[in-house]
Structure 1
Amino acid sequence: MPTTLTQHIVQYIDDRRAVKVEAFEKECDKEKAKITSVEDADTFEANRSAKVAKLELDFTVTHWLDSAAKRAGQISMATHAIKFSHSAAKGTNVLAENLGSDPRYVDTFSIASPAVDAVGNAAALDVARLLQLKDNAGKSLLAYLQEDNIEPLAPLANTPEQLQEWQHGLKQALRDSAPSSHTLAKQVYFPVAQGEYHLLAPLYSSSLSQALYSEINHSRFSQEMKAIRDARKANLPCENLLVAYPNLAVTISGGSKPQNVSQLNSGRGGRTYLLDTRPPTWRNQQQQPKDNNQLFNHSSLLFNTERTVKRIADFMLCILHKPSNLKRREYIQRMVEQIGEQVINDIAIWQQQPAGWTNTYHQLPMHHAQWLDPNNPRWSEKNEDWRDRVSAEFGLWLKDRIDKAAGSGQTFRLSQGEADEWRQTFKQLLWEMK
């Protein structure tokens, strides 16, 4: 409703005034403490009264909106910002609208409500926040202006001419009168005919980055996901799904001044998450384990877990003389779970073999065969819990591998206690991923 948005605009300006007044009063208190004479006190009070009067004038609704309309041209409301290519690039930012979307791709318009960013003079970002104010239905002042609808501003203007000035001035943040690229922007020559090209200038979608950032942060830090992880650690049932994004990378835009790139970038602290898009690693046909010595020491299991095992060993060496704490224990626990999940994923390749394939491998222990060949009819009447024996072997295997990865000059050696703890971890994973 335009009426509620009008109220939000008035409240926003009043809140801005309160912040300025509070900062001004603190500064006055500091200056007042330095006064040593009656003349200085009189001068101080006169200056203070003049500044208070100016503040009150500046933050009257009409005066502030007059100023906002004049400053709006210093910013660009955008979904795609050029400064993500290079913080010194000065080309056009784009507020993309109604471009359509393709269900085969995750793009800006696959988001239900893409966030709108603001790029430009950081001193004018208060105007951007004004344009992003919404009514109770979720429609922003920006959306009203895009429709040439000035109902939210109409009750605040003194004259029709003033209202038109506000509309014209604020809309300067929505368009660029002289679109341009820049030498520091990305550009691609795309061939379209014999000797002819289109010059493409791809722009970074800050809106898509914001959606990805919010989703990943929710999976990592929200109370909902924390409750699910706590239930998992305590072996308690939970109806909700645990969402995780492994192997993330992070890029930083803007260095120590992310606000110089964009408003949303500043809110993210300059961070942008990158998902793992590496192609799958080619695997040759893996030879099935035939005896007790080949399972956990199979080449594929050793290769796929080697890096994580080394990370645990290096971390333990780094904290060797430091006190144990929850954060360090949880880090090791996460790495152990990662190794366990990798082992189970590798074993799944053999579990997909035709049922009964282990019948010809008589040297393969029964508990290994039950794990590797779960659909074998031979197990229909078996009651033994093979998970206990497999988990115990995993705990000892991982303990020995970490000891070995720490090197011959190591100053620690893991005990049966660690093997028992990791046995329980792996057994839990077997039940969860069966």
Structure 2
Amino acid sequence: MPETLAHNIKAFIEDRFQTKRDTLDKEYEKERAKAVSSESADDVEAQYATKREKLTQDFTLSNWLDSAAKRAAQISMVTHAVKFTHSSAKGTNILASDLGHDVRYLDTASLPFPAVDAVGNAAALDVARLLQLTDDNGQSLLEYLKRDDITPLKDLTHSDTQLSEWASGLKQALQDATPSSHSLSKQVYFPIGNAEYHLLAPLFSSSLSQALYQEVTHSRFSQDMVAAREARKKQRYHDKPVVAYPNLALTIAGGSKPQNVSQLNSGRGGRNYLFSTRPPQWQAQLKAPVMSGNIFTHPEVRYATRMPIKQLTAFLIKVNQQHADSNVRIRNRVSQLVDETVDHIISKVAQWQQLPTGWSNNATELPLAQRRWLDPNHPQWDVHDDQWQQEIATMFGQWIVASVNHIANNELSLGAIEVTQWQDAFKQALQEIS
């Protein structure tokens, strides 16, 4: 109800005032402690008394909403933001509604309640949070203003003029009076005939990205999913299905400053997940590696890892020939190629892990730790024993170093240092998925 929203607005402003007041009090205590005389202490007291008085005036309900109405033009409430294309791009952002929906596609219109993002001056993002305050029915101030309903603001002033100024000012965050594109944004000139074109400006949906991010995060870290995965691991019943999203891609918007792109992007740390849209591929019947003596030398593993190991070897030979000192760029490239190798191995092993429990009884040539890894649900394993992870990590380190040395053909010789470094990377990967 509007009355609830009005109450929430008052509480929001009071909360912000208290936060600012606490910060100011801490600054005062620090300056007061530095005072070396009664005169300097009096100066500090007078200075901060003035600041407290100004802060109190700024955060009276009427004054703060006056300021918010004036600052609203510095932000845009959006579902689609141009800065996801390039963080320096300018131009029109869109608060989309009534887009129409095709059930064949996952898009913003698929969301029953799409999250609304905010872009613009970071100093005015408190106005965005004001607009996102809701009543007890979940209706935000933003939604009230979109339908020209200013009821929640009526109880906060007795002046019709002020009420009108608040409404018109806050609405500036909902619209762009001068739609435009920008040289750093995406643009498509679509021909409509007679040498005429429509200029199309594809925009990234932050609302859809937020929904995907929340769904993926829930599937990975929520208590329900953690409990469900633990139950599956122990072959126990759980009333929740295990949900996972394989083959995810990740893009980072904004680099080290995701807040420069948008408010929601900042909350995601710049991370935006992309689902795989590759068509299904035919897979041959999976055969258990019962005749293998070391899973790392299995033909399918060697085939899956051939490219990153070749690239790793070529890169290390080049660095060695140039007598280059180790630096961040070199270490990052080596780490990336080792991680790619690890990913390929774990992906391949995951297929064997889905075979019927107990198949490893016939793999008598495989080391016990590898059988434990490849046949994880076998009841004979001690679930509290993690030593097998270290054994497998050591085998991986020795294998990848031997593989690089073999391909290098005396142009390079790696040793115990690399074995230790790369086995640690493999062990960490095992622990993350166990």
TM-score after normalising by structure 1: 0.72
1:261 maps to which residue? 261
Question: Which residues of 2 match residues 20-419 of structure 1 at below 5 A?
Answer: 20-193=20-193, 195-281=195-281, 302=300, 306-307=304-305, 338-343=347-352, 387=359, 389=361, 395=370, 407=402
Following TM superposition, by how much is the alpha carbon of 1:238 offset from its aligned partner in structure 2, in angstroms? Answer: 1.7
Cα-to-partner distance string for 1:9-43 (whole Å, 9 max, x where unaligned): 00000000000000000000111111122222222
Tell me the SS of whatever aligns to 2:199: strand
CA distance in structure 1 between the partners assigned to 2:207 and 2:273 by the alignment: 13
CA distance in structure 1 between the partners assigned to 2:181 and 2:44 by the alignment: 51
Tell me the SS of whatever aligns to 1:139: coil
CA distance in structure 1 between the partners assigned to 2:21 and 2:172 by the alignment: 29
Q: Which amino acid in structure 2 is aligned with residue 222 of structure 1?
A: S
8 A contact 1:301–1:343 mirrored in 2:
no
Q: Which moved more, 1:192-201 or 1:385-394?
A: 385-394
Tell me the SS of whatever aligns to 1:33: helix
8 A contact 1:248–1:275 mirrored in 2:
yes
**How large is the RMSD of aligned CA atoms in angstroms?**
3.7
Cα-to-partner distance string for 1:284-303 (whole Å, 9 max, x where unaligned): xx6998xx979x99xx9826
- Say if 1:150 and 1:407 are closer, same or farther in 2 by CA, change over 3 A: same
Following TM superposition, by how much is the alpha carbon of 1:231 offset from its aligned partner in structure 2, in angstroms? Answer: 1.4
CA distance in structure 1 between the partners assigned to 2:285 and 2:265 by the alignment: 50
Give the gaps of 5 or more residues in structure 1.
315-331, 348-370, 372-384, 413-434
CA distance in structure 2 between the partners assigned to 1:123 and 1:288 by the alignment: 57
8 A contact 1:305–1:339 mirrored in 2:
no
Following TM superposition, by how much is the alpha carbon of 1:387 offset from its aligned partner in structure 2, in angstroms? Answer: 3.9
Cα-to-partner distance string for 1:89-122 (whole Å, 9 max, x where unaligned): 1101000011121111000010110000001000
Tell me the SS of whatever aligns to 1:250: strand
CA distance in structure 2 between the partners assigned to 1:287 and 1:97 by the alignment: 48
Following TM superposition, by how much is the alpha carbon of 1:256 offset from its aligned partner in structure 2, in angstroms? Answer: 1.8
Following TM superposition, by how much is the alpha carbon of 1:247 offset from its aligned partner in structure 2, in angstroms? Answer: 2.3
Tell me the SS of whatever aligns to 2:212: helix
Following TM superposition, by how much is the alpha carbon of 1:140 offset from its aligned partner in structure 2, in angstroms? Answer: 0.1
CA distance in structure 1 between the partners assigned to 2:63 and 2:348 by the alignment: 63
8 A contact 2:259–2:265 mirrored in 1:
yes
2:8 maps to which residue? 8
Cα-to-partner distance string for 1:283-337 (whole Å, 9 max, x where unaligned): 7xx6998xx979x99xx982697339999xx9xxxxxxxxxxxxxxxxx999887
Q: Which amino acid in structure 2 is aligned with residue 57 of structure 1?
A: Q
Give the structure with higher Rg (CA): 1
Cα-to-partner distance string for 1:123-175 (whole Å, 9 max, x where unaligned): 00000000000001000000000111111110101311110000000000000
Q: For this pair of structures, how many residues does the alignment match?
A: 353
Following TM superposition, by how much is the alpha carbon of 1:234 offset from its aligned partner in structure 2, in angstroms? Answer: 2.3
CA distance in structure 1 between the partners assigned to 2:267 and 2:94 by the alignment: 20
8 A contact 1:309–1:405 mirrored in 2:
no
Give the gaps of 5 or more residues in structure 2.
313-340, 375-391, 406-414, 418-434
- Say if 1:52 and 1:103 are closer, same or farther in 2 by CA, change over 3 A: same
- Say if 1:149 and 1:32 are closer, same or farther in 2 by CA, change over 3 A: same
Following TM superposition, by how much is the alpha carbon of 1:249 offset from its aligned partner in structure 2, in angstroms? Answer: 2.2
Following TM superposition, by how much is the alpha carbon of 1:255 offset from its aligned partner in structure 2, in angstroms? Answer: 1.7
- Say if 1:303 and 1:34 are closer, same or farther in 2 by CA, change over 3 A: closer
- Say if 1:98 and 1:104 are closer, same or farther in 2 by CA, change over 3 A: same
- Say if 1:92 and 1:189 are closer, same or farther in 2 by CA, change over 3 A: same
Cα-to-partner distance string for 1:175-207 (whole Å, 9 max, x where unaligned): 011010000000112233364432211000000
Q: Which amino acid in structure 2 is aligned with residue 86 of structure 1?
A: H
CA distance in structure 1 between the partners assigned to 2:267 and 2:301 by the alignment: 40
Following TM superposition, by how much is the alpha carbon of 1:411 offset from its aligned partner in structure 2, in angstroms? Answer: 6.5
Question: Percent of aligned positions with the same letter in both sequences?
Answer: 53
2:426 maps to which residue? none
8 A contact 1:77–1:95 mirrored in 2:
yes
